Amino acid sequence: MDAVAAESLIEATLPQKRRVAPTRLLEVVVVALAIATPVATFLFVRNFSHQVFNPGVAASLLLANLLPYVALIVLIGRRIAIHRAAKSALAGGGRLHVQLVAVFTLMASIPIVLTVIAASVMFQSGVQLWGSDRARSAFNATTDLAKEGRGLVAQRWATEARTMVDDLTNLYPKIPVDSAAFQRSLLEQLYYRSFDQAVVFRVVGGKQVEAMYTWEAPPAKVFAARVSGQVLNLLKDEQSYTNFDADKQWVVTPVDRAQNVFLYVANSVNVGFMSRQNSSADRIVAEFNALQARSRALQLQFNAVLFGVALLIVSIATWIALAVADRLVKPVEQLVTAARRVAGGDLAVRVDIPQTGDEISTLGNAFNGMTERLEQQTGALRTANAQLESRRVLIEAVMSGVSAGVISIDAQRKVRLINESAIELLHQGERELVGHPLVELAPELNDLLDTGDREAVIQLGTGGDARTLAVKVTSDEAGKVLTFDDITQQLNDQRRAAWSDVARRIAHEIKNPLTPIQLAAERLKRRYGKKIEPEDGTFAQLTDTIVRQVGDLRRMVDEFSSFARMPKPMFRQELLLDIARQAMFLHEVAHPTVRFEMDVPDTVPGLICDRRQIGQAFTNIVKNAVEAIEARGEGEALPQGHIVMTISPESEGKITLTLADNGIGLPVERDRIVEPYMTTRSRGTGLGLAIVKKIVEEHFGTIGFTDRPGGGTLVTICFDTDQLAEMVSSPEGEGGEEPRPAVLTRTGSAKS
C-alpha cells in the first residue's frame, strides 16, 4: 500500500472513530429508556387499576413505550449493517447499509407511529362512549321497554284468567265440577279465551294438590313445577300468577280461597317470540355489563396489540432495508472476491451476472470472459501435470504391491526410488533412503553393477542374516533399475528335496543286504566260534565288528528313511509341559553327571501338535546339547554340564521354547547346521537337526541357533498358535472319524 492510499484510509477512519462515542452513548440511552418505560408504565397502570383511561392518557402511554423500541430496532439494524459490511470484501464502513436501513426504517416508523396513535385515540374514544351516561340510559330504556312489553302480555292473560274465574264462580259451587254443565261452560270459556290447557284443582293440607277437573293437562312433573308451593304462597296475597317458558305461558288464579280451589290455564300463543325476546334481553344485559367490566382490560390489550404490530412493521422494514442493501452491494462484492481468487490462482471462478443490463452486468460479462480465457490457456498444462501425477501414483502402487525389491538409481548410483519390499530385504529399518548411495545400502549390489552383468545370484549378508538374492538389472534414461527377490528358502527347499531323494535311494540300496550280512556274521560266530582256539580272539573280534558296523549302517538307514519319508503330522491338543519333561527325563536318567533344569511359568499353555514328532524334535535338541557338553572333554577346571529348558507364556499368538547348554558351542559354519548331512561329529549322519527343522516348520514354527552368553549354545523354537489352531483334527471317537493329518505345501502352509 502506497503513502497516498494510507493517508486516504486514515482520513476515512478518523471521522468514523470520532462518531463512535456519540453513537454508543445514544445506544445506551435508548436501551435504558426501553427498560425504564415499561417499568414506569406498569407502576402507573397498577396505581389506577380500576379506572378507564381517557384517550389522551392511553395514547401518551403507547407513544412513550413505542418510541424507545422503534429507536432500538433502528439501532439494531444499523449494527447488523455494520457487521455485514465488516465481512464484505468492500471497504467503506457499511455506510450504504446504514443509510438504506435509516431511510427505510424512518419511512416506515413515522407513518406507523402516527397510525397507531390515531387508532388508539379512536378506540379509547369508542370505549369512553360505551361507558358514558347517555349510552347506559339508552340501554336501560331499551331493556325497560322490553320488560314492559312482556308485562303487558302477561297482564292480558291474567285478566282473561280472572274474568274466566268470575264467570265460573257463578256456577261453582252451585254446579258440581264433574257435571256436564260445568264442563261445557269451562270448555266454552277456554275456547273463547284461546286457552288450550285447564286444570281445576284443590290444595289439601296446604301442600297436596288434588285435580278436580282437567282438560289437556300437562305432565304431572311439569304441572307440579308450575303450581309449586312457592306459587301457591304468592297467591295468598295476589289475584293471579303469570309466567312462561319455551313451551307455554300459564296463569294460576284462585277460584275459592275458602275451599283452596284454584284454576290453572295455559296456551302457546306468542310463546316462542316472548322466549326469544327475553333471552335476547338477558344476553344483551350480560354482554353490556361484561363490556363495562372489561373496558380497562380492552384498552390495555388493544394498545398492546398496536404496540406489537408497530414493532413488527418496523422490524420488517428494517429487514427489507438490509435485504435491499445486500442485493445492491452483492454484485460488486462478488466481483471483488472473484478477482482476489483469480489472483490466488483459481481460474475457474465465475460471477453471477444480474439480468439488469446495467454497468455491473457488463462488468460481470467481461470478468467471466477473462477468466474463461485464462482457464483455457492453462488447461493443457494442468492436463499434463495430471497425467504425470497419475503415472507416478501408478508406479508407486505397483512397486508397493510387488513382493520383489525394486531400487531405482541415477547415474551417480544414488537411490531415486525404493519400495517397501527392498527396504525389508535389505534390513534398512524406517529411515529415509532416497538420495543415499547404493554402496551404503548394499555393497554387494554395487559390486554387481561394476561387473556389468544383467542377471546374477548374489549372497547378501546384512544384519547377521545371510540371504541369497536373484538380481536383475535394467537401464533407463536416467540410471538403472535393480529388481531382486529372496530365493534363500527356495534354494533350501530344492536342496532338501534333492537330499530327500538321495536319502530314499541310499536307504533302499543299503537296507536290503544289511540283514543277510548281519545274519551271516552271527551264524559264523555261533557255528565256528567254539572250534577256534579261545586264546585267539581274532575271529570273535571280526564277527563282532561286522555285527556292530551293520547296526551302525542300519541306524544310518533308519535316519535316511526318517528324513526322506517323514509322516505328516497328526495335530491334536497336547500338553507342551509333558512333552518337554519327557524329553528332558530320558536324557537326565542316561546322563547323571549333567544337571538338567526346567524354567516354566505357573500355567503352561497347551499346544496343538503331533506329540510324537514334537517329542522327537525336543529329544534330538536335548541329545545335541548333551553331546556338546560331552565334547568338552573331562577335567576339574571344567564346570558341571548344565542344560536349561525355558517355556515362555503365550504372547500375541506365539509360544517360545528355549534350550541353553554350556557345551562347546556352535561350529564356524553355523548357517549350515540344519542342512542335510551337515555334521561336526565323526559318527553323525547330519540329519538330526534337518529333521528337527522340518518338524518345526510343519508345525508353523521357526528355529534359531545363537551363542549363549558365557559359552555354549542357545536354541530358540517359536510356534504360531493361531495357525496351529486352524490345523487341529477332530479327536478320536468324536464324529466317528479318526484324526487325519494336515496336508501341507512345501512352504508349510496348510491346505484344507
Check residues 186 and 145 and name the one with the higher pLDDT. 186
Given the candidates 1.10.287.310, 3.40.50.2020, 3.30.565.10, 3.40.50.700, the CATH classification of the domain at 566-751 is 3.30.565.10
pLDDT digits (tens, 9 = 90+) for 587-611: 888 888 899 999 998 888 889 998 9
- Name the average pLDDT for the chain: 74
Question: Given a cut of 60, is residue 304 above it in pLDDT?
Answer: yes
Strands (E), 163-312: 197-204, 208-215, 241-244, 249-256, 261-267
pLDDT class of 102 with cuts at 50, 70, 90: confident
Q: Residue 496: name the closest of 672, 376, 682 by CA.
A: 672
pLDDT class of 732 with cuts at 50, 70, 90: very low
What are the grid coordinates assigned to 120, written together? 388508539
Question: Given a cut of 70, is residue 684 above it in pLDDT?
Answer: no
Question: Given a cut of 70, is residue 295 above it in pLDDT?
Answer: no
Fill in the amino acid letter for 746.
R
Report the C-alpha dihedral over residues 671, 674, 676, 681, rounded to 10 degrees.
Answer: 90
Question: Given a cut of 60, is residue 129 above it in pLDDT?
Answer: no
According to the per-residue pLDDT averaged within each range, which of 232-236, 249-253, 351-355, 640-644 is highest? 640-644
User: Which residues are CB-neighbours of 232 under 8 A, at least 6 positions away?
Assistant: 203, 262
pLDDT class of 716 with cuts at 50, 70, 90: very high
User: Which residues are CB-neighbours of 750 under 8 A, at least 6 positions away?
Assistant: 723, 726, 727, 742, 743, 744
pLDDT class of 270 with cuts at 50, 70, 90: low
Looking at residue 14, its pLDDT comes to: 41
Question: Given a cut of 70, is residue 3 above it in pLDDT?
Answer: no
Helix (H, G, I), strand (E, B) or coil at 635: coil
Report the C-alpha dihedral over residues 342, 343, 346, 349, rounded to 10 degrees.
Answer: -20
| Angle ∠(547,550,556) on CA atoms, nearest 5 | 145
Domains 154-284 and 402-486 share a fold: yes
Looking at residue 72, its pLDDT comes to: 83
Looking at residue 747, its pLDDT comes to: 33
pLDDT class of 152 with cuts at 50, 70, 90: low
Residue 652 falls in which region: left (phi positive, over 0), alpha (psi -120 to 50) or beta? left
Q: Residue 395: name the closest of 406, 403, 384 by CA.
A: 406
Given the candidates 3.30.2270.10, 2.70.70.10, 3.30.450.20, 3.40.50.11540, the CATH classification of the domain at 402-486 is 3.30.450.20
| Angle ∠(400,401,403) on CA atoms, nearest 5 | 100
Looking at residue 642, its pLDDT comes to: 92
- Are 252 and 264 contacting, i.e. CB atoms less than 8 angstroms apart? yes
Residue 429 falls in which region: left (phi positive, over 0), alpha (psi -120 to 50) or beta? left
pLDDT class of 92 with cuts at 50, 70, 90: low
Looking at residue 475, its pLDDT comes to: 83
Looking at residue 195, its pLDDT comes to: 75
Pairing of strands 595-599, 642-647: parallel
Find the mean pLDDT for residues 626-644: 83
CATH number listed for the domain at residues 154-284: 3.30.450.20
Check residues 123 and 218 and name the one with the higher pLDDT. 218
For the chain, the domains span 21-132+293-339, 154-284, 402-486, 492-550, 566-751
